[in-house]
Amino acid sequence: MIIGLAIISIIIALISFLYTLKVGKIVDRQKGEHDTDTKATAKHPILFNPIFLTYIFGFGGLVLFIFYLTSKYY
């Protein structure tokens, strides 16, 4: 179980790193002083908020872990 969690953690870290690089390149290309909204952000502004996504994934993982422990020990 520990190895599986470690592999999942590494995959999430790699995806986060690649996404951060992608966002950094977009920010570097912007010439204006103010941020501009993309079409995707305009349609779903909450879904592209990294703090909101962290809460969703964190609580989702916590719920899955609780279900796993419940099914294993009860």
* Of 31-35, 55-59, 69-73, minimum mean pLDDT range: 31-35
Where do the domains of the chain lie?
Answer: 2-29+44-73
Mean pLDDT of 3-13: 87
- At residue 52, the 3 state secondary structure works out as helix
12-55, pLDDT tens digit by residue? 888 988 888 888 787 777 766 666 666 766 676 666 677 878 88
For residues 14 and 21, the answer to whether their CB atoms sit within 8 Å is: no
Gap between the Cα atoms of 23 and 59, Å rounded: 24
> What pLDDT sits at residue 64?
92
Gap between the Cα atoms of 37 and 29, Å rounded: 14
Gap between the Cα atoms of 48 and 42, Å rounded: 10
Number of helices and strands (H, E) in the chain? Answer: 3, 0
> What pLDDT sits at residue 62?
92
Predicted TM-score (pTM) of the model is: 0.43
